[in-house]
């Protein structure tokens, strides 16, 4: 625990030396959704490989860098790409960026992902507000010694996705005329896509979308007292729904198709976020 704490301190110290203001809102951008960072004027860009102890992203569509600056009048810190368990990282590495964000002063986190649609009423390219999640990764990032100064040993997960932020997102979507679905996200380990049988099981459990990220980040953010909003871009229908194989290329192409709408929605949400 002390070793991890020291690594977090070293990473934070390195980042703070390059920032002239304190970030308040964090964003994690999933596959194909990284263009939002281009809206920041005069950004400070910090590649992950320049930050001590920071895990490296290896997935197509993930730039692997922090982008800091002003967006909609707020100081934001954008993770342009994330790391995943399936890349071979340990759970503490996958969630390391969240601990760093907390120590930098982030109070609100918007986490996004590209996901497969399980709910057959969703169309490819739909945006889904995450109401709740199912952890089917077989691991929990809070396993191990607990630092009571960081968070509770047994954190309640009833409101992991903060209702007030979800309501703000719905309001923004309504004002924009954007259809915003809402549902349950199931996180799986990957990297193989799910089987049709698994998708049928997840549907019976009440899941609406499936992906290979987000859940560990949200658990740790909630544990640390960060307010969380989650948005999935439904980039493809999950296995067995359509009579065709799944490809990561489709994920990237669909994310590109809806990215203008996605960026406008996130901008509107950031505009409404106030310090808790």
The reply to whether 31 belongs to the active site is yes
Structural domain contains residue 10? no
Domain that holds residue 107: 22-272
Q: pLDDT tens, 113-135?
A: 989 999 999 987 889 999 999 99
The reply to whether 169 belongs to the active site is no
**To the nearest whole percent, how much of the chain has pLDDT over 70?**
88
Structural domain contains residue 122? yes
Structural domain contains residue 26? yes
Active-site position among 53, 89, 107, 248: 248
* Distance between start and end Cα atoms, the chain: 29
What CA–CA distance (Å, rounded) separates 152 from 46? 32
Structural domain contains residue 2? no
The reply to whether 140 belongs to the active site is no
Structural domain contains residue 91? yes
What CA–CA distance (Å, rounded) separates 55 from 48? 7
Q: What CATH number is attached to the domain comprising 91?
A: 3.40.50.1580
What is the pLDDT, as a whole number, of residue 31? 66
What is the pLDDT, as a whole number, of residue 3? 78
pTM of the model: 0.92
Q: pLDDT tens, 252-276?
A: 666 666 778 888 899 999 999 987 7
Q: pLDDT tens, 201-257?
A: 999 999 999 999 999 999 999 999 999 999 998 987 665 455 555 565 655 666 666
Structural domain contains residue 8? no
Q: Which tokens hold the place of 215?
A: 């859940």
- Say if residue 51 is exposed, middle or buried (CB neighbours under 10 Å; 0-12, 13-18, 19+): buried
**Number of structural domains in the chain:** 1
Q: Which tokens hold the place of 71?
A: 């967006």
Instruction: For 192-259, give the DSSP string.
Output: SPPPHHHHHHHHHHT--EEESSSHHHHHHHHHTT-EEEEEEEEEEEPBTTBSS---HHHHHHHHHHHH
The reply to whether 255 belongs to the active site is no
Crossing angle of the two packed helices 215-223 and 96-104, in degrees rounded to 10: 40
Is 236 assigned a ligand-binding role in the annotation?
yes
Of 37, 25, 23, the C-alpha closest to 263 is: 37
Crossing angle of the two packed helices 96-104 and 2-16, in degrees rounded to 10: 60
Is 178 assigned a ligand-binding role in the annotation?
no
Of 275, 210, 272, the C-alpha closest to 240 is: 210
Structural domain contains residue 12? no
Structural domain contains residue 162? yes
Is 84 assigned a ligand-binding role in the annotation?
yes
Active-site position among 11, 128, 160, 212: 212
């Amino acid at each position: 625990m002390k070793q991890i704490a020291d690594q977090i301190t070293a990473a934070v110290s390195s980042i703070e030396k390059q920032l002239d203001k304190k970030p308040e809102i964090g964003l994690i951008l999933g596959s194909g959704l990284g263009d939002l960072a281009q809206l920041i004027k005069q950004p400070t860009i910090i590649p992950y490989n320049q930050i001590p102890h920071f895990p490296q992203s290896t997935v197509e569509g993930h730039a692997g860098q922090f982008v800091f600056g002003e967006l909609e009048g707020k100081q934001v810190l954008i993770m342009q790409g994330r790391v995943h368990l399936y890349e071979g990282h340990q759970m503490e590495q996958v969630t390391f960026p969240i601990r760093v964000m907390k120590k930098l002063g982030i109070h609100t986190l918007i986490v996004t992902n590209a996901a497969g649609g399980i709910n057959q009423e969703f169309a490819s390219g739909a945006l889904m507000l995450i109401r709740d999640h199912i952890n089917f990764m077989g691991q929990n990032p809070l396993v191990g010694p607990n630092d009571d100064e960081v968070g509770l040993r047994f954190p309640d997960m009833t409101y992991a996705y903060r209702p007030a932020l979800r309501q703000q997102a719905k309001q923004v979507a309504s004002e924009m005329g954007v259809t915003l679905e809402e549902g349950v996200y199931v996180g799986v380990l990957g990297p193989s896509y799910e089987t049709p049988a698994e998708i049928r099981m997840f549907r019976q459990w009440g899941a609406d979308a499936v992906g290979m990220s987000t859940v560990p980040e949200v658990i740790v953010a909630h544990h640390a007292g960060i307010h969380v909003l989650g948005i999935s871009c439904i980039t493809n229908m999950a296995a067995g729904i359509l009579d065709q194989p799944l490809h990561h290329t489709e994920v990237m192409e669909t994310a590109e198709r809806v990215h203008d709408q996605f960026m406008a929605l996130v901008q509107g949400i950031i505009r409404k976020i106030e310090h808790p």
